[in-house]
Homo-oligomer: A and B are copies of this chain.
Amino acid sequence: MIFSVQIKVMPLKELLDPQGKAVLGGLQNLGILAISDVRVGKNIVLQLEAATAEEAKQIAEEATKKLLANQVMEMYEISIS
């Protein structure tokens, strides 16, 4: 069975997010002043073959820990559909 798995990877709240700060500056230069904070992370969508949703989750966790997220600097959230 093929599962579609979505993984959001975001910089940890405690850390600076230079990309987010750059985007915030860009928005202000465009005159969009209602936005006070921007954080930029990744949204990764996988197609994954597994017997059950449980197994799909495990494979996605393994992929995330080994390659997709750097847990020293990032947090992640996995959802399966």
The reply to whether the CB of A30 lies closer than 8 angstroms to some CB of chain B is: yes
CA–CA, A10 and B40, complex, Å:
13
Could you tell me the dominant secondary structure of chain A's interface residues? strand
* CB of A50, distance to nearest CB on chain B (Å): 6
Assuming the contacts A26-B67, A32-B59, A35-B63, asked whether A43 and B46 have C-beta atoms less than 8 A apart, the reply is no
Contact with B along A40-75 (1 / 0, CB 8 A): 111111111110000000010011001110000000
What would 12 A/B residue contacts be, using CB atoms closer than 8 Å? Answer: A2-B36, A23-B67, A27-B63, A32-B59, A34-B48, A34-B49, A35-B47, A35-B63, A36-B48, A38-B47, A42-B43, A43-B43
Q: Interface of A with B (CB < 8 Å)? A: 2, 8-10, 20, 23, 26-27, 30, 32, 34-50, 59, 62-63, 66-68
